[in-house]
Structure 1
């Protein structure tokens, strides 16, 4: 395809393929190219409340819960997330409804016209993010809930100034782009902070100095988990508490860690939100691939997209709670595959004590880990090697006994391959 030729098509997949070829790399952090195009599109100063969420893990669940609570409160809510599971449209939602192909194509036409007028190329993520913002502007949304894709400071989502910034947690991930220490990564995440706005830090770890300093320099009020707000898990409900607010809340399908962050965000947003809206939003909020429990042939399968050490520790915490509530399960077998640029050794090390048998296979994506990389990490572990992730799942399903459940994990791509087998 000649990327400099005008593109006239009403096919969404053709547009997505086009954006994948316009720029030399898929990931190119920095705002220098995208800002002139955004100015041309007049989308930098939306007439809406903006909530931006960064972090290593938990962004998807947190943004989902914030959006659902605000939707239940009666607001017209834009939600931007990545990656998607089944189709690209999942990334861009208004009040729970995915953007249509026609809406996306119309937005892509405008983005392409603007970037050509500026004589600039855009990466896939840059172009599609600008298109999302155009859809939200066209839909006259009251609130935009925006998930940062990678880092914070140089992520294209950060061209929009937030009214509230949320950092879910900080772990070692994407070290090639963000830095190889927690403090370096924290400095990138803290790049979403703006002057005189509330900032939430929801990590379980000690508050990184980079976040504290950035908030102080910006005169931004910083609210820290277990210092300025708290949550407590009980048998039939959980409690949220902050100065002036105490709530007894129901459990939902999402982890309480992320639900508590969402509640903190909506209570600090300045928006009118009732207790009922919070309760209903919590029970209705769900997201594919975050400790998602499903059934196949009367067997229980848990899907979790945790793909780094921090994410797997969080998964194990939820798994412990699930097993406590479902004592009939005494063993876990796993369908497992990862991307080559992730810390496979650490993920496997965390999972080893809980896994009775491993069913592994390479994924069919460019960054997939090889069988050799996975078997090197699984020394002395009982594993069965299959040709495809689907084959691995079918083998695990056939072997699964009544006292066992199946955990599918390692990557969103692993989950996607197995979903095809049960949908």
Structure 2
């Protein structure tokens, strides 16, 4: 079947549907096809000449890190471009300038230009390649001062890596995406370190560094600042924290996002030549937020916590924050009722992609010591979704069959957990970006 190219009058949905069908596979690692199109569009040269570029790779924490960097640069008065993926609700979330999502019209105009360049180069591109090129083109045409780019998958062969960064951040390295990146920390580290360039600066946000990353640092003569050695943070109380490096010690307001990711972002900003004052940093920390990252909300008279944790490291991070939040939640319920209630429990709304290590994620959640009484599961609307059979069989090895509740889709599961929980319970939604996105969409109609 021959696909017809959408026009400038076509809708954003029509363009997104078209781009999902024009390439043989959704994920196709490598830069050989995308580079000629990028050069034809002029985006590579634009970034090199006109903007300061932060590229952020890592297994977990990229979204929070890029959000904090962007907020700080914006607060300091820089026209700031932010590229993240995937999105939770609408595609426009991926492409922001000064914190605002770009319009459908701007995206469609960019898609038109990318499609014209692609056809001229006689190449096919994946959905991610097409949409990333469009984002970079938008940033170039908007003449942004700072580009903050989240690397989608790995580093070395990810389309974001066509842009040479001035500052690189590797948040951490864990086992994930083994089909594309390898199944050892050393292999994955080598792929993540592919974002490095000669004589730039790297912020490395984990205590353990694979040899492959160290070798890349030495090869490129990179100046590396590593957490625990060159910078650190300390919690002071529920409202304040302290950041320290060799040059400064800052007492700062606590953001709603992870302090570890915030620390990495602040280290990157301070190591850059950008003029970002302490007052701009404080302003940014009070304002920054990111949907789906330890995202607590009260909706439909229920307490909800949304987190995109979808691998072992991500779940460990979620639990580290969830345990104290749970105690705070229980204390709040007790203070309202004035009697000790045994009915305050956790309900899990859960689903994952089939290529993730579901067994380990479930095991971590089950053995965390939290009162999880029920699991509401459904298949995500995604080609790589774990099937109901996979979800059920994995859970059945860890929890009782009576605690597993199966639904046709995430919307039905969302309505069910709302109906079968109380206003004292905490509902935790996790396992995938797609799980959260579909649950949030369902909640909007409750």
Question: 2 CA distance for matches of 1:402 and 1:42?
Answer: 54
Does residue 78 of structure 1 match 2:77?
no
1:421/1:6 CA distance change after superposition, 3 Å: closer
Question: 2 CA distance for matches of 1:343 and 1:6?
Answer: 38
Give, in angstroms, the shift of residue 53 of structure 1: 0.2
**1:51-70 equivalence runs, <5 A:** 51-70=54-73
Segments of structure 2 that go 5 or more residues without pairing to the other structure are 334-343
Does residue 399 of structure 1 match 2:428?
no
Give, in angstroms, the shift of residue 296 of structure 1: 2.3
Root-mean-square deviation (CA), in Å?
1.5
Match of residue 117, structure 1, among 116, 120, 126: 120
Single out whichever of 328-337 and 233-242 deviates more from structure 2: 328-337
Match of residue 359, structure 1, among 370, 376, 379: 376
Counterpart residue number, 2:19: 19
1:130/1:364 CA distance change after superposition, 3 Å: closer
Give, in angstroms, the shift of residue 386 of structure 1: 2.4
Question: 1 CA distance for matches of 2:190 and 2:222?
Answer: 15
Question: 1 CA distance for matches of 2:16 and 2:422?
Answer: 43
Counterpart residue number, 1:377: 394
Equivalent position SS for 2:429: strand
Single out whichever of 343-352 and 35-44 deviates more from structure 2: 35-44
**Preserved contact between residue 350 and residue 429 of structure 2 (Cα < 8 Å):** yes
Equivalent position SS for 1:21: coil
Counterpart residue number, 2:295: 292
**Preserved contact between residue 305 and residue 411 of structure 1 (Cα < 8 Å):** yes
Give, in angstroms, the shift of residue 365 of structure 1: 2.2
Give, in angstroms, the shift of residue 403 of structure 1: 4.2
Q: CA offsets per residue over residues 292-342 of structure 1, 9 Å max, x none? A: 111123221101111111111110011023124333365321111111111
Q: CA offsets per residue over residues 360-396 of structure 1, 9 Å max, x none? A: 2222322221222112222233222223222222222
Counterpart residue number, 2:252: 249
Does residue 172 of structure 1 match 2:198?
no
Please report the TM-score for the alignment, with normalisation by the length of structure 1. 0.96
Give, in angstroms, the shift of residue 38 of structure 1: 1.0
Counterpart residue number, 2:163: 160
Give, in angstroms, the shift of residue 34 of structure 1: 0.8
Counterpart residue number, 2:273: 270
Question: 1 CA distance for matches of 2:5 and 2:326?
Answer: 56
Give, in angstroms, the shift of residue 185 of structure 1: 0.4
Does residue 413 of structure 1 match 2:434?
yes
Equivalent position SS for 1:238: strand
Question: 2 CA distance for matches of 1:289 and 1:55?
Answer: 18
Runs of 4+ in 1 over 6 A off after TM superposition: none
Counterpart residue number, 2:31: 31
Question: 1 CA distance for matches of 2:142 and 2:156?
Answer: 27
Match of residue 226, structure 2, among 220, 224, 245: 224
1:126/1:297 CA distance change after superposition, 3 Å: closer
Give, in angstroms, the shift of residue 190 of structure 1: 0.2
Does residue 345 of structure 1 match 2:347?
no
**Preserved contact between residue 229 and residue 242 of structure 1 (Cα < 8 Å):** yes
Equivalent position SS for 1:22: coil
Question: 2 CA distance for matches of 1:314 and 1:38?
Answer: 36
Give, in angstroms, the shift of residue 399 of structure 1: 2.7
**Preserved contact between residue 9 and residue 15 of structure 1 (Cα < 8 Å):** no
1:350/1:137 CA distance change after superposition, 3 Å: same
Q: CA offsets per residue over residues 262-294 of structure 1, 9 Å max, x none? A: 111110111000011111111111111111111
Does residue 210 of structure 1 match 2:222?
no
